[in-house]
Amino acid sequence: MTQKTNKILAFSLQLGLIFIVAFPIHAFIQHQNDIDYFQHLLIPSYLINYLMVVMSFAMLIFLQKKYTNSLGFLFLGGSFVKFAVFLIFFSPYYKQDNEIETAEFFAFFLPYSLGLTLETMRLVKILNRA
């Protein structure tokens, strides 16, 4: 395997571990508040956020050498795409009752923020080495 592939695989495993720990805690809290595990698109939110963060990080790794000075902007572009996915696919479901409940907000925002935090930490390491 190449060094780039190893970085992406290590990142994917680390993110997967974080999500595997966070999801049952999140689902348990929902259950304690009488919210079904499958309500508010909880599972699709974790899966889609996982895939988007891994793809965004892979893009940064593959473009790292060629666009070292622009990695921050590429990162912002990836964040924009993730937010656009929320607006296009999740927001219409959440706004069916004309408001976004706290549980709906956290169903998307928690995995989004966990992924964003890990991706940011890794990007900082990459930029510090450049």
The pLDDT, as a whole number, for residue 52 is 96
Q: What pTM, to 2 d.p., does this model score?
A: 0.89
Reported as type and span, the H/E element at residue 38 is none
Q: Which residue has the tokens 């993730």?
A: 82
Q: What is the pLDDT of residues 39-80, one digit of tens each?
A: 888 999 999 999 999 999 999 999 988 888 888 899 999 999
The pLDDT, as a whole number, for residue 37 is 76
The pLDDT, as a whole number, for residue 65 is 86
Query: Which residue type is seen at 66?
Result: K
Distances (CA, A) of 110 to 36, 39, 64, 74, 115: 17, 15, 27, 22, 9
